[in-house]
Chain A
Amino acid sequence: MRTSDQGRQGPAAMQNGAGRRQTENNRSAGRGGKKKGNRLRLFVQLCFTALTNGYAAGFANTTIYAGDLKHFCVPGLSCYSCPGAFGACPLGSLQAVLGSRNFNFSFYIVGFLMAVGALMGRFVCGWLCPFGLVQDLLYRIPFVKKFRRLPGDRWLRYLKYVILVGFVIVLPMTVVDIIGQGSPWFCKYICPSGTLMAGIPLVAGDPGLQEAAGGLFLWKVAVLAVLVLLSVVVYRPFCRYLCPLGAMYGVFNPVSLCRLQVDRDICTKCGVCQKTCGMDIPVWEKPASVECIRCGDCVKACPHGAIRLTGPADLIRRGGAVGNAGTSGAVESSADSVEDRH
Chain B
Amino acid sequence: MKERSGGIGKRRTAGVLLLAAGAVFMAVGIYRGEMATVFIKAVNICLECIGIG
Contacts and interface: CB of A to CB of B under 8 A. Distances in A.
A117 B18 contact: yes
B29 to A, nearest CB: 3
A64 interface: yes
B37 A102 contact: yes
Interface string B9-52: 00110111011011111111110111101110111011111111
Contact of A114 (B21, B30, B41): B21
Interface residues of B, number: 42
A213 B12 CA distance: 49
Interface in A65-114: 65-66, 70-71, 73, 79-81, 85, 87-89, 92-93, 96-97, 100, 102-103, 106-114
Given A92-B46, A199-B51, A257-B12, A111 B26 contact: yes
A184 B23 contact: no
Contact of A257 (B16, B22, B48): B16
A138 B25 CA distance: 37
Interface stretch (A20-28, A39-47, A129-137, A215-223): A215-223
Nearest to B41: A96
Nearest to A332: B5
A239 interface: no
Contacts of B39: 70-71, 88
A79 B41 contact: no
B21 to A, nearest CB: 6
A95 B40 CA distance: 13
A102 B24 CA distance: 20
Interface stretch (A7-15, A154-162, A333-341): A333-341
A217 B38 contact: no
Contacts of A65: 43
A109 B29 contact: yes
Given A1-B1, A336-B1, A338-B8, A109 B34 contact: yes
Contacts of B46: 79-81, 92, 184, 187, 194, 198
Given A80-B41, A336-B4, A184 B49 contact: yes
Interface stretch (A226-234, A248-256, A296-304): A248-256
A84 to B, nearest CB: 13
Contacts, number: 186
A217 B50 CA distance: 7
Contacts of A199: 49-52
Contacts of B5: 332, 335-336
A260 to B, nearest CB: 12
What are the 3 A-B residue pairs with the smallest beta carbon separation, nearest first? Answer: A108-B29, A111-B25, A115-B22
Interface of A: 1-2, 64-66, 70-71, 73, 79-81, 85, 87-89, 92-93, 96-97, 100, 102-103, 106-119, 183-184, 187-188, 191, 194-195, 198-199, 202-203, 209, 212-214, 216-221, 252, 254-257, 261, 315, 332, 335-336, 338-341
Given A108-B32, A184-B46, A188-B51, 14 more contacts: A70-B39, A71-B42, A92-B46, A107-B32, A108-B30, A108-B34, A109-B29, A111-B23, A115-B22, A118-B22, A199-B49, A336-B5, A339-B7, A340-B11
Interface of B: 1, 3-5, 7-8, 11-12, 14-16, 18-19, 21-30, 32-35, 37-39, 41-43, 45-53
